[in-house]
Structure 1
């Protein structure tokens, strides 16, 4: 693989994203295993993944919707784009003009207005150890780390038990801290 290809955005979502979530594993469906670009999701594709891959992926998309709705409204207007996070998830998340991405490739930190959320401490440490994340992270505890300069936050994996509503509120506060 060439260096150019290794630095391509690979995942789901809008190329003009303002918020990207980085997750290590792809949905275990043949269509997504060979994905080598940023795929703009179409209405219904998230539900197709949920149906085929089960509760784990349903949680990822649900938590992503909840996180977007919890972000500080002075910086992000996702909560103004739909009546609730469920509607946003079903009708806008990861689609064209959604300003959101779910990436399986390492973070590209070349655009200063983008927020980068790495889902899972283990994945973040793997990226660091593999030389794919050069941000100077400040670990706040065993689960959360932040780099204000690169607008990177490491948080628990997108699962209800790991990233509870209380921890989503903490994540939202960390976002406010990054932009303050």
Structure 2
């Protein structure tokens, strides 16, 4: 795995690009995967702009909601009060439940967890032979799930699954769709 996040992620986001900073180009060149430092998200946003702020914010909204539900039942650690604080202090650190993977290929889906492929074009390029469920009951769906025809990588008993979601941009992935994703996928 090449990217950033905790050592045992439960939710893996596959993104085609990486922050346009030398440190992250070096991670790819060296094939490294590591957790971020608590202040690193703010640094990436300040140096690379709005694009990565959107990606981190949408991912933080998803993971904060999932983590908040889990913390109510299982954790002694304190959780930040808002998704913004979660993004700035927890997201993609060792204390997070998620990871972002760059340089994905078909083999990257072998680890357990919920895999979110960011963007329909990237999903089609990454897994060209997969039949995605693009409609349900004759209606188009906005979240694509692998169909049961690909049972080896479809939703498994351990909760693993591969989904394609819109690219993490506020217009393509608004709050209403974040709620739909939380209810549908998790």
Q: What range is the shorter-chain TM-score in?
A: 0.7 to 0.9
Specify the alignment match of 1:6 in structure 2: none
Question: 1:47, 1:72 → 2: CA distance?
Answer: 21
Cα RMSD for the two superposed structures: 2.3
Structure 2 unmatched ranges of 5 or more: 73-77, 147-154
The structure with the larger Rg is: 2
Q: Is the 8 A contact 1:156 1:163 kept in 2?
A: yes
Provide the TM-score with structure 2 as the length reference: 0.77
Question: 1:109, 1:83 → 2: CA distance?
Answer: 32
Superposed counterparts of 1:20-169, under 5 Å: 20-35=12-27, 36-71=31-66, 76-77=70-71, 81-106=79-104, 108-112=108-112, 114-129=113-128, 137-140=132-135, 141=140, 143-147=142-146, 148-149=155-156, 150-169=160-179
Specify the alignment match of 1:5 in structure 2: none
Q: Is the 8 A contact 1:11 1:37 kept in 2?
A: yes
Provide the TM-score with structure 1 as the length reference: 0.79
